[in-house]
Amino acid sequence: MPLGLFALSIGLYTVSAVASLAVSERTGGRIAAIGAVLGALAGMGAAAPVLADGQAVAVTLAGPFPFASFALRLDGLAALMVATIALVSAAAALFGITYAQEEYAGRGVGVMGFFMNLFVAAMMMVAVADNALWFIVFFELMSLASFFLVTFEQDAEAIGAGWLYFVIAHAGSMLVLIAFLLLFAVTGSLDFAAFRGAAVPASTASIVFLLALFGFGAKAGMIPLHVWLPRAHPAAPSHASALLSGVMVKIGAFGIIRVGVEFLGARVLWWGLLVLAFGAVSTLLGVAYALMQHDLKRLLAYHTVENIGIILMGIGIGMVGIASGQSSLAVIGFLAALYHLVNHAVFKSLLFLGAGAVITRIGSKDMGRMGGLLRAMPWTAVAFLIGALAICALPPLNGFVSEWFTYQSLFIAALHGSALVRLAAPLSAVMLGIAGALAAMCFVKAFGVTFAGEARSEPAKAATEVSWPMLAGMGLLAASCILLGIGAPIMAPLVGGVASSLVGGSTTAVADGVLVFPGDPAIGELSTPLIAILLIGLAGVPLLITALFAARRPRRRSSAVWACGYLPDAQMHVSAGGFAEPIRVLFRPLYGVRSRAARGLAAAADRFAAVPGGAARAEELWDRLLLAPIGRGVQAAGEQLQVLQGGDFRVYCLYIVAALIVLLAVVTV
C-alpha cells in the first residue's frame, strides 16, 4: 500500500509536470501547483504508515539495464525524507499558484511548473532508490531540474550562479559515483541491498566514506564546498529557493547517513569526529557570513549552511556513538540530526516564502529598501517572525527542540567518551552556542530591518498584503513550526524510531507524557507544551498588572520618534550593515578566512587564463612539426627519384636489360 501511494505521488508530479507544458501559461501553472499538492498528499500518505510501524517496504523491478535492477526501498529514513519533501512541496506549490503568475507572467510559468514538479519527483525518487545506478540518475536529474530553476531569470548573475551550482553538483555526484563503484567492485552488485553490511576492507571503507562525505557534502553545502549555495539559492524564484534550501541540501545529509552509517556501519571513530568537525565549522562560519549580508535571500542561504552544520554535528555524534559502542548516544545523535533536518526544512522554506512575498512587493532583495512592512503586510510579518523565532531556536518552537537534543547529545558524548571526544564535544557545544547567539542577532536584524520601523523606499510605502494562496503556503509552514515544537513529545519518538533503526534497532526512550528526554530523564528533561502554556499563562501577569491601572490612564497616543530635538528622518534608522558592524569588528579573524581564500582562487584563475593560449599554440605544432616535414620529405624524395626518369629512351632500355639480368640471377640462385 505505501508503495502504491508513492507511485501515485510520483505519477501525479510527473504527469502534471508534462501537462503544464502543453497548455497555456496560466493553466499550466495551476495544473502544476494542483498536481504538486495532490502528489504531496499522496506522498505523506505513503510515508505515514512506514513511520508509524517502522517496517520497510521494498520492491525490485527489472529495468532496461541488465547490470542494474530498478530497486526501491521505503524505510524509516526514506519515509521521513519523503514526508518532509511532500510538506515543503505542498507549501511551495500553494505559494506558487499566484506568486509565479505575478512575478513571471509571460516568461514561462508553465515551464517553471514543469521543472518544479520534476525536481520534487526526482528528490523523492532519490530518497527511495535502492540501486546505485538509479540513485545517481535521480540525483543528477534533481540537479538538472533545479539548474533550470536557478537560471530562470536568465540574467548574467543567475546563469553564473547556475553554472557554478551544476558543476559542483556534478563533481559531487562523480565522487559519489566513485564511492559506489568501489563498493560495486567489492560486492559485485550495484544494489544497495548488497552494499549494506558488505565486508569492505578497512582502507577501502575509509576512502569510500571520504568520497561520499565530500560528494554529498558538496550537495549539502558543507564548508568548504558551499560556494555555490549563496549564489544559487537567491537567484532562483522564491518558492524554488524554498525547495532548494529546505529540502535539496538535506538530500546531501541523507546521503552521508546512507553511506556512512548504513553501508559502512560507521565503525571507525575518526569518521564521526571528522563529520562533527566539518559540522561545527560550517555552523560557525555560515552564521558569521550570514550576518554580513544585506541581501535578504543571501542571508537566508548562508543560514542554510549554518543549519546543515548543525545537522552534520548530530550525524557526527551519532557516528561516534556507534563507533564507541554507545548505542543510546548514537540514537540521540541521529535523533537530533533528523529532527533538525525536518525542522530546518519547515522553517527555512517558511522564511524563503516570506522573503519572496516581501521581494514581490518591494521589487528588490536589498533590505535597505524595505521597512515598515509590519503594518502593511501583517500576516507575512507574523509568519516570518515565527520562522525567525524557530531558526533562532527560541522556545517553545521546533528549532529549539532539535538544538536542545543536539546539545544533549554533545553532553552525553562528553560525559562518557574517549579523550578526543571529551575535548571535541564541549568545543562543538561552544561553537553551537556562539552560532545561536549570532543567529539571533542576524534575525533580529533581518526581521527588524525588513519589517519594522519606517518604510525606506517608495515601493515599501505602497506595499500591501499578498494574495491568499501565498499566505496559505506560509501559514501551512508556520503552523507546522508550532506543531513540531509543541508536539515534541509526539515527534521525538517518531524520529527516534527512525534513528533507532539506523543503530541496529536499539530501543532508547525519548518521551514520556509531555516530556522529552535524551534516553535518561536524569540527564535532562524538556517539555515544550508546558513551556508554551506557562509562557502564555505568565504573560497574564503583566497583562493583569497593566489592566489594574487601565481605568486611571488616559488613552494611548502616538507621537514622533525622539531624535534629540531634530525632526526624525528615515536615514536615522539603523541599517542592516550598521547593526552587524560590531560583529564584523570583534570577530575579524573569521572574515579574514574568506578574503584569503578568494585571493588564492583569483591567483589560480589567472594561471588558468594562460591555458587557451598554450593550447592554441600546441594545436598547430602537429602540422608544423609532423605533417609538413613528412610532406617536404616525400616531395624531396620524389624529386630525387625524378632523376631516374631522365627522358632518355635509351636509359629506359638499359633499365629493362638490368632488370632481366637481376631476375635471371635470382631465379637461378
Partner 1 sequence: MPTIGQWALGLGQAAALLLLAPLVSGFCRVLRAKIHTRTGPGVLQDYRDILKLLKRQEVLPAGAGIVFRATPFVLMASLLLIATALPVLTLASPIEPVGNLFTFIYLLALVRFFFALSGIDSGNAFAGIGASREATMGALMEPVLVLALFVAALLAGSTDLGRISVSFSSLAGGSIGAQAAVIAAVAFAAFVEMGKVPYDMAEAEQELQDGPLTEYSGPGLALLKWSVGLKQVVMAAILIGVFLPYGAPASASIGGMAFAALAFMVKLVVVLVIVGVIENGAARSRFFLTSRATWAGFGIASLALVFYLVGL
Partner 2 sequence: MTNLAFAVILIPFAGAVVAGLSPEPLSKWTAQLFALITFAAALALAFAFDAAGRPSLVLDLVTFGDAVLLGITIDPISVLIILAVVGVGLLVCVYSAAYLSLENREHPDRGRRSYYAWLMAFIGAMAGLVFASTLAGQLLFFELTGVCSWALIGYYQDQSSLRAATKAMVVTHIGSLGLYVAAAALFAATGTFALSAIGQLDDTMKTVVLAAILFAAWGKSAQLPMQMWLPDAMAAPTPISAYLHAAAMVKVGVYVFARGLLAAGAVPQTIGWLGAVMAVATMVYGFLLYFPQQDFKRLLAYSTITQLSYIFLALSISVFGSPLAFEGAIAHVFNHAFAKSLFFFVAGALAYTTGTRLLPELRGILAQAPLIGVGFCAAALAVTGVPPFSGFFSKFAIFAGGFQAAAAHPLLLPLLVIAMAESVGSFAWFLQWVGRSVLGKPSPKVAAAIPLPAAMQGVLLILIIMTLCSGEIAASWLGGRPS
Within 169-208, which residues bind partner 2 (CB under 8 A)? Answer: 170-171, 174, 177-178, 181-182, 184-186, 190
DSSP state of 555: P
Helix (H) or strand (E) holding 656: helix 649-668
211 phi/psi in degrees, rounded to 5: -60, -45
Binding at 626: pick from partner 2, partner 1, none (beta carbon under 5-8 Å per type): partner 2
Residues 578-617, one symbol each (x = binds partner 2 by CB under 8 A, - = not), give ---------------------------------xxxxxx-
Binding at 140: pick from partner 2, partner 1, none (beta carbon under 5-8 Å per type): partner 2
Contact 301, 257 (CB under 8 A): no
By CB under 8 A, name the one of 160, 265, 459, 529 that touches partner 2.
Answer: 160
Contact 212, 260 (CB under 8 A): yes
Is 662 a residue that touches partner 1 (CB under 8 A)? no
516 CB contacts (<8 Å, ≥6 apart)? 401, 405, 488, 489, 492, 510, 525, 526, 527, 528
Binding at 170: pick from partner 2, partner 1, none (beta carbon under 5-8 Å per type): partner 2
By CB under 8 A, name the one of 535, 601, 630, 659 that touches partner 1.
Answer: 535
Where helices occur in 23-75 by DSSP H, the ranges are: 25-53
**How many angstroms separate the CA atoms of 599 and 577, rounded?**
24
Is 154 a residue that touches partner 1 (CB under 8 A)? no
Residue among 156 and 541 whose Cβ is closer to partner 2: 156
Spell out the long-range contacts of 16-24 with Cβ–Cβ below 8 A and sequence spacing 24 or more.
16/113, 16/117, 17/113, 17/114, 17/115, 17/116, 17/117, 17/118, 17/121, 18/114, 20/110, 20/111, 20/113, 20/114, 20/117, 21/110, 21/111, 21/114, 23/110, 24/110
CB of residue 219 to partner 1, shortest distance in Å:
30
CB of residue 171 to partner 2, shortest distance in Å:
5
Contact 409, 332 (CB under 8 A): yes
Question: For residue 57, what are the β-bridge partners?
Answer: 74
**How many angstroms separate the CA atoms of 6 and 566, rounded?**
64
Is 545 a residue that touches partner 1 (CB under 8 A)? yes
Is 18 a residue that touches partner 2 (CB under 8 A)? no
Site residues for partner 1, window 378-397 (CB under 8 A)?
Answer: 378, 381, 385, 389, 392-395
**How many angstroms separate the CA atoms of 352 and 99, rounded?**
13
Stretch that binds partner 1, among 57-65, 247-255, 258-266, 517-525 (CB under 8 A): 517-525
Is 493 a residue that touches partner 1 (CB under 8 A)? no
DSSP state of 536: H
Residue among 574 and 598 whose Cβ is closer to partner 1: 574
Is 548 a residue that touches partner 1 (CB under 8 A)? yes
Helix (H, G, I), strand (E, B) or coil at 295: strand
Contact 448, 573 (CB under 8 A): no
Binding at 155: pick from partner 2, partner 1, none (beta carbon under 5-8 Å per type): partner 2
Is 555 a residue that touches partner 1 (CB under 8 A)? yes
Binding at 579: pick from partner 1, partner 2, none (beta carbon under 5-8 Å per type): partner 1
CB of residue 664 to partner 2, shortest distance in Å:
28
Stretch that binds partner 1, among 247-255, 272-280, 533-541, 654-662 (CB under 8 A): 533-541
Can you spell out the DSSP letters for 95-142?
HHHHHHHHHHTTS-HHHHHHHHHHHHHHHHHHHHB-BHHHHHHHHHHH
By CB under 8 A, name the one of 1, 53, 61, 64 that touches partner 2.
Answer: 64
By CB under 8 A, name the one of 556, 596, 617, 624 that touches partner 1.
Answer: 556
Q: Is 37 exposed, middle or buried (0-12, 13-18, 19+ CB in 10 A)?
A: buried
Torsion, Cα of 604, 608, 610, 615 (10° steps) = 150
E strands present in 234-274 = none
Q: Which of 578, 279, 344 is nearest to 477 (CA)?
A: 344
Binding at 542: pick from partner 1, partner 2, none (beta carbon under 5-8 Å per type): partner 1
The residue behind cell 565530500 is 214
Binding at 414: pick from partner 2, partner 1, none (beta carbon under 5-8 Å per type): partner 1
Helix (H) or strand (E) holding 368: none
Binding at 144: pick from partner 2, partner 1, none (beta carbon under 5-8 Å per type): partner 2
Helix (H, G, I), strand (E, B) or coil at 302: helix
DSSP state of 191: B
Stretch that binds partner 2, among 150-158, 392-400, 497-505, 578-586 (CB under 8 A): 150-158
Q: Which of 159, 77, 97, 91 is nearest to 120 (CA)?
A: 91
Site residues for partner 2, window 119-148 (CB under 8 A)?
Answer: 133, 136-138, 140-141, 144
Residues 336-375, one symbol each (x = binds partner 1 by CB under 8 A, - = not), give ------------------------------------x-xx
Is 22 a residue that touches partner 1 (CB under 8 A)? no
CB of residue 349 to partner 1, shortest distance in Å:
21
By CB under 8 A, name the one of 52, 167, 597, 636 that touches partner 2.
Answer: 167
Residue among 24 and 154 whose Cβ is closer to partner 2: 154
CB of residue 415 to partner 1, shortest distance in Å:
6
Site residues for partner 2, window 622-641 (CB under 8 A)?
Answer: 622-623, 626-627
* Amino acid found at 114: F
CB of residue 300 to partner 1, shortest distance in Å:
17
281 CB contacts (<8 Å, ≥6 apart)? 223, 309, 431
Binding at 627: pick from partner 2, partner 1, none (beta carbon under 5-8 Å per type): partner 2
Site residues for partner 1, window 426-455 (CB under 8 A)?
Answer: 426, 429-430, 432-434, 436-438, 440-441, 443-445, 447-449, 451-454
Binding at 404: pick from partner 1, partner 2, none (beta carbon under 5-8 Å per type): partner 1
User: Helix 202-220 and helix 249-256: axis angle, to 10°?
Assistant: 170
Residue among 423 and 653 whose Cβ is closer to partner 1: 423
Site residues for partner 2, window 66-105 (CB under 8 A)?
Answer: 66-67
Where helices occur in 258-397 by DSSP H, the ranges are: 269-291, 296-323, 327-362, 373-376, 378-391
Q: Which of 120, 45, 39, 47 is nearest to 80 (CA)?
A: 47
By CB under 8 A, name the one of 359, 391, 414, 478 that touches partner 1.
Answer: 414
Residues that bind partner 2 (CB under 8 A): 62, 64-67, 133, 136-138, 140-141, 144, 151, 154-156, 159-160, 162-163, 166-167, 170-171, 174, 177-178, 181-182, 184-186, 190, 611-616, 618-619, 622-623, 626-627
